[in-house]
Amino acid sequence: MSNLIEIRGLSFNHGFRVIFDNVDLDIERGKITAIMGPSGTGKTTLLKLISAQLTPRSGKVLVEGQNIHDLGQADLYEMRKRMGMLFQSGALLTDLNVFENVAYPLREHTTLDERMIRYLVLIKLHAVGLRGAAQLMPSELSGGMARRVALARAIVLDPMMIMYDEPFSGQDPISMGVLIKLIKTMNDNMDLTSIIVSHDVKEVSAIADYIYIISNGRIMEQGTPPALEETTSAWARQFLKGLPDGPVHFHYPAPDYNTDLFETE
């Protein structure tokens, strides 16, 4: 089976607001798939639906052929041990230092001795370039470093897939370059499947194998980065090129300008 994840007919509401309306989407095994779209379109919600942190109104999310929302807590947790997730903030446990944060999943889910835990944690920290920061507390890390520690923690159990939530937002050019390189090399060297949620077109296009662009609860466009360069969709073109006006208007819907300015009651 070449698809690790298959989403079929997914619908999700947030209160009365429709976030997803009958969405179909495939994540191919061993590839980097990007989910892109403007802010507030539910990209992070999609990751939460894939990892069953949220339950859809209807539809299925098949992970390795199993509908993840049909699993009981024990089976779901077994599945999650094989899923890594990198949160936008890093979400490190603030009362533990860097070493203990990365060691945390090992201590919770394995019976490895201390020597082996140290060995594994240092390997993962070395992979993200932060072996020297093992004894620092999360409050002593920059945003980029916190994300790299969170990445080391996400891969410490050698998962089959990893989900990145806005990995590039708020990063300086060096941190951004480091993260892009890490995501690509980890995906290729560790036999991972990666899902990146982002709106950073240039960075994502550089490493993604396939891109979905979502907006208004549905998939607006999809394809490989070169194919999307040639897209004929005016909406996708506006998004990818970052044009200020187009199908998505610069102005929020409002009454006529002159009427608004000069009409008095």
Partner 1 sequence: MLSYLNKIADNFGPLGKKGIVSFERLGRSALFLLRVFQSIPFVFLRPWLFIQQLYSVGVLTIIIIFVAGTFVGMVLGLQGYNILVRFNSESSLGTMVGLTLVRELGPVVTALLFAGRAGSALTAELGLMKTTDQFSALEMMAVDPFKRVIAPRFLAGFFSMPLLAAIFSAVGIYGGYYVGVYLLGVDDGAYWAQMQKSVDFHEDFMNGVWKSIVFGFVATWIALFEGYDSVPTSEGIGRATTQSVVNASLAVLALNFILTALMLETS
Closest to 4 measured CA to CA, from 83, 85, 105, 81: 83
Which of 21, 67, 100, 104 binds partner 1 (CB under 8 A)? It is 104
> Tokens standing for 139?
């409050």
Which of 78, 140, 191, 229 binds partner 1 (CB under 8 A)? It is 78
Which of 38, 66, 77, 142 binds partner 1 (CB under 8 A)? It is 77
Which of 89, 135, 185, 224 binds partner 1 (CB under 8 A)? It is 89
- Helix %, strand %, coil % of the chain (to 5): 40, 25, 35
- Of 193 and 222, CB closest to partner 1: 193
91 in contact with partner 1 (CB under 8 A): yes
Residues 23-52 that bind partner 1 (CB under 8 A): 48, 51
81 in contact with partner 1 (CB under 8 A): yes
The stretch near partner 1 (CB under 8 A) out of 6-14, 104-112, 190-198, 228-236 is 104-112
Query: Contact positions toward partner 1, by CB under 8 A?
Result: 48, 51, 53, 73, 77-78, 80-81, 83-85, 87-89, 91-94, 104-105, 108-109, 150, 153
